Amino acid sequence: MESRANFAPKFMAGGTADRLLTAEIMPSHARNKLSDRRVQSEKKPGLYGDGGGLYLRIRPSGRSWIFIGTLKPKGEFRIKKTGPGKRIEMGLGSALDVPLAKARQRAAEIREMLLEGIDPRVERLKSKEEAKPADDKPVVTFGAFAMELLDSIEDGFRSPKHRAQWRSTLKTHAKPLLEVPIAEVTTEQIVAVLEPIWLTKRETASRLRGRIERVLDAARVKGLREGENPARGRGHLELLLPKSTKTVRHHPALPFKQVAEFITGLRQRSGMAARALEFTILTAARSGETRGMTWAEVNLEERLWTVPASRMKAGATHEVPLSDRAMAILNDLKNDKVQPHHFVFPAQRSGSLSDMTLSAVIKRMQQTGITVHGFRSTFRDWAGEETSFEREVIEMALAHTVASSVERAYRRGRALEKRRDLMTEWAKYCFQEKDTEKG
């Protein structure tokens, strides 16, 4: 167990705050006691010393870096004092935004100033004054910039409803950020906005995070911000927000451990609706995408189904790799009479199947409390909990919009083959308890 010296400044016997021993006079070998892992994982409130005057302060409201040391007179710099020096305590920023290495660098700079008899607090004020623009430009707030951005991109929205949702989400759930200067929005502030709805309204929270990220990205492009985006999810907020103990969903879903049994029962049923439902499950597609599927969208040779942008919710073309069983379903339906414009899963009389037709299959199987769309959640739960596929691959398989530039590059690269492997594994999982009948 570490001694108190590792967590807080030492006090002299009978000590009071003004008798604090200075951190900067500690020997060099007593420094660098913290690790990145501990900085991220330590939960207990208190002061945790790294040495050399640098401390990690953990409070219920968050964690931050502080420097504690002593200013002694040197040269022409004089102060009135009654003890060996004047205590200095300075904040060095949030531990969520300032990594350990950067905090150590800032602490080293402060120690240098103290050795020269310079008050670092005075220097900080001077720097802020010098950094102020010559003219009195109004401060741009997050809310004002977000609305300005929204006005400039609103022509790209699918519908007026989507535009309204953008505004409503920010005004309702990001209200604490609206009056914050766009240049000063921090990770801690974003976490405080997302955390209350992260588990209870996961879809809304996820959209909100993406919208905040987009606003801050645009602000950086316009020169209103510097540094990394504090709203980025991967490798950042995903490590800080609570893990969901259960998937929050609007569409009741079958637990993935029951999907193989369901598929076994489904394959005992004949009819176009049963095959369409099975195909929908195997491809993790939306019901409407399957029901509106035409033979022109299918490339049997490349084992690929390409859904045009006009039929996709996100308005972007979506490629679906086809597993052996998905291919078997298509090969059974293919014949010399079909034309490219024909539906792959036609209704009995004419046109495409209705959504109620697929739902009726589930009801006839005596399955209550689940929906066709819910099988997408079943797939996501399975992929997230039972496989090691990257989150980007899973989200792309579900045709979800991928926001970051890194993920968009991933989409253009090797993601298709990764998704093919993912859908193959999903098909194997769905048929792990199947009988010996061949597709």
Residue 314 belongs to domain with CATH number: 1.10.443.10
Token reading at 196: 């209350």
Do 104 and 186 sit in the same domain of this protein? no
Total domains, the chain: 3
User: Around Cβ 279, how many Cβ atoms within 10 Å?
Assistant: 21
Q: Is the separation of the CB atoms in 68 and 87 below 8 Å?
A: yes
CATH number for the domain including 183? Answer: 1.10.150.130
Selection from 18-32, 62-76, 104-118, 159-173 with the highest mean pLDDT: 104-118
CA 37 to chain centroid, in Å, comes to 20
Q: Is the separation of the CB atoms in 191 and 96 below 8 Å?
A: yes
CATH number for the domain including 99? Answer: 3.30.160.390
Q: What is the pLDDT, as a whole number, of residue 365?
A: 87
Which residue type is seen at 323?
Answer: S
What's the mean pLDDT in 179-198? Answer: 90
The residue with greater pLDDT, 388 or 291, is 291
What's the mean pLDDT in 169-173? Answer: 87
Weakest-pLDDT range from 120-134, 202-216, 299-313? 120-134
Give the whole-angstrom CA distance, residue 270 versus residue 434. Answer: 16
Domain boundary among 81, 111, 131: 131
The residue with greater pLDDT, 305 or 413, is 305
The residue with greater pLDDT, 384 or 16, is 384
**Average pLDDT across the chain, whole number:** 80
347 domain residue, yes or no: yes
61 domain residue, yes or no: yes
Look at strands 304-307 and 298-299 and give their pairing: antiparallel
What's the mean pLDDT in 341-347? Answer: 93
247 domain residue, yes or no: no
Give yes or no for residue 165 having a pLDDT over 70.
yes
The residue with greater pLDDT, 170 or 87, is 170
Domain boundary among 109, 131, 153: 131
Do 260 and 334 sit in the same domain of this protein? yes
Do 112 and 157 sit in the same domain of this protein? no
Q: Identify the domain containing residue 305 by its residue range.
A: 256-430
Do 309 and 412 sit in the same domain of this protein? yes
Q: Is the separation of the CB atoms in 303 and 310 below 8 Å?
A: no
Q: What is the pLDDT, as a whole number, of residue 171?
A: 87
Do 149 and 215 sit in the same domain of this protein? yes
Do 293 and 412 sit in the same domain of this protein? yes
175 domain residue, yes or no: yes
The residue with greater pLDDT, 43 or 274, is 274
Give yes or no for residue 7 having a pLDDT over 80.
no
285 domain residue, yes or no: yes
Weakest-pLDDT range from 6-20, 49-63, 319-333? 6-20
Q: What is the pLDDT, as a whole number, of residue 218?
A: 92
Q: What is the pLDDT, as a whole number, of residue 29?
A: 46
Do 280 and 163 sit in the same domain of this protein? no
Q: Is the separation of the CB atoms in 92 and 66 below 8 Å?
A: yes
166 domain residue, yes or no: yes
In the sheet with 318-321, reading across from the earlier edge strand, the strands are: 298-299, 304-307, 318-321
Q: How many CA atoms lie within 13 A of 402 on its CB side?
A: 22
Q: Mind listing the pLDDT tens digit for each residue in 55-108?
A: 999 988 788 899 988 877 653 333 333 345 667 788 888 888 889 999 999 999
Do 107 and 147 sit in the same domain of this protein? no
Do 291 and 413 sit in the same domain of this protein? yes
Q: What is the pLDDT, as a whole number, of residue 85?
A: 60
Q: Mind listing the pLDDT tens digit for each residue in 194-251?
A: 988 888 777 788 889 989 999 999 999 999 998 889 999 888 888 888 876 544 445 5
Do 218 and 155 sit in the same domain of this protein? yes
Q: What is the pLDDT, as a whole number, of residue 131?
A: 58
Close Cβ partners of 23 (under 8 Å, ≥ 6 residues apart): 9, 49, 51, 52, 53, 54, 55, 67, 68, 69
Do 163 and 17 sit in the same domain of this protein? no
103 domain residue, yes or no: yes
Give the whole-angstrom CA distance, residue 110 versus residue 79. Answer: 18
Do 354 and 273 sit in the same domain of this protein? yes
Q: What is the pLDDT, as a whole number, of residue 81?
A: 39
Weakest-pLDDT range from 180-184, 323-327, 332-336, 397-401? 397-401
Domain boundary among 110, 131, 152: 131
Give yes or no for residue 26 having a pLDDT over 80.
no
What's the mean pLDDT in 421-435? Answer: 83
373 domain residue, yes or no: yes
Indicate the pLDDT class of residue 401, thresholds 50, 70 and 90: low
3-state SS class at 306 = strand
